[in-house]
Amino acid sequence: MPQKLNHSETNSLRNFAAPNRRVRRSLQARYACTSPIKEQAYRIRYEGYLAHGYIDANPRGILYDHFDNEYHAPSVVIYDNGKAVGTVRLCNFDSTQSTSVTDKLPSAELFELTAEKIRTRFCQNVSDVRAIEISKLAKIPECESDLGITMALFKMLKIVAIAMRTHVVFASVRVPHMSLYSRLGFRIVEEPRYFAKDNIVLGLMACQPDDFRSIQDCAERIFHGPKALGTNEIHETAATFFRGEIIDVFPHDSAENGADAERFREDQYHLEQHAA
């Protein structure tokens, strides 16, 4: 199932970079390592996917699959002032483990990904391949246009990817959502194609952590201040997260940096004009 992002959010430059989108509030994250937190993630997915007609209603009001039972596929839950509002699942593949890519990454079978193919295309100079796939990204319907929550989800991806020394991050993306992923450092590596089994058109996008770090940090400065997490802070935050503790997603809140915001808006304007 593809990521859940609002169509207007992916295509509106004003929504993405307008100064009034700068927020000061308590966005927190937690690892879904207990049954109650997992239930929150499953319900957010269900509500978000149902609102867009991606799934049919079911009496339990939750959405999950067999990957949710695996240790390598942790889910993140984002809270806005204590309310669960967003979630994303981060499936991990490590070639040092005795398993295939298709057992670990949901889209590996669709796009015929193998460890050797990933190494050849994305990390030729390494012996061990480490990859993450974003999946089951969703927000509750009333927060669908809230870009701050979207940025919080991608911030957690960045923290986990860098802390785990990931070589590449994958995402199976619907065409209307590709522009937002492009703004965050992703590029198309498999052109969109139709999958009859799921009756859906998806393309495969990928990002390497250095690219993701620089572009996402630029966006972060617009919303939550100019200071980004250093390497040590990233590892400390990841360790706290995987202990199951609540963490502040954007701990560094400061005065708005107008020059950075204006420069970023100009960059997005040129990007959007080029994409058109």
Domain that holds residue 268: 7-275
Sequence-distant (6+) residues with CB within 8 A of 232 are none
Amino acid 192: pLDDT = 94
The answer to whether position 132 is within a domain reads yes
Assess if residue 260 is contained within a domain: yes
From the list 35, 53, 11, the residue with the least C-alpha distance to 178 is: 11
**What's the structural domain count of the chain?**
1
Most confident of 12-16, 164-168, 222-226, 232-236: 164-168
Q: Answer yes or no: is 193 within a domain.
A: yes
For residue 154, give the amino acid letter: F
Residue 2 in any domain: the answer is no
pLDDT over 60 at 9, yes or no: no
Q: What is the mean pLDDT of residues 151-170?
A: 91
Averaged pLDDT, 76-100: 91
Decide if 1 is inside a domain. Answer: no
The C-alpha atoms of residue 46 and residue 264 are separated, in whole angstroms, by: 34
pLDDT in tens, 31-79: 999 999 999 999 999 999 999 888 899 999 999 999 999 889 999 999 9
User: Is the confidence at residue 110, as pLDDT, over 80?
Assistant: yes
Nearest residue to 164 via CA among 30, 73, 100, 227: 73
Mean pLDDT of the chain: 80
Q: Kindly state the DSSP code that residue 54 receives in the 8-state scheme.
A: S
- pLDDT level of residue 218 (50, 70, 90 thresholds): low
Does the pLDDT at position 7 exceed 50?
Answer: no
* CA-angle at 50, arms to 52 and 39, nearest 5°: 135
Does the pLDDT value for residue 187 go beyond 90? yes
The mean pLDDT of 110-114, rounded to a whole number, is 90
- Does residue 203 lie in a domain region? yes
CATH number assigned to the domain comprising residue 139: 3.40.630.30
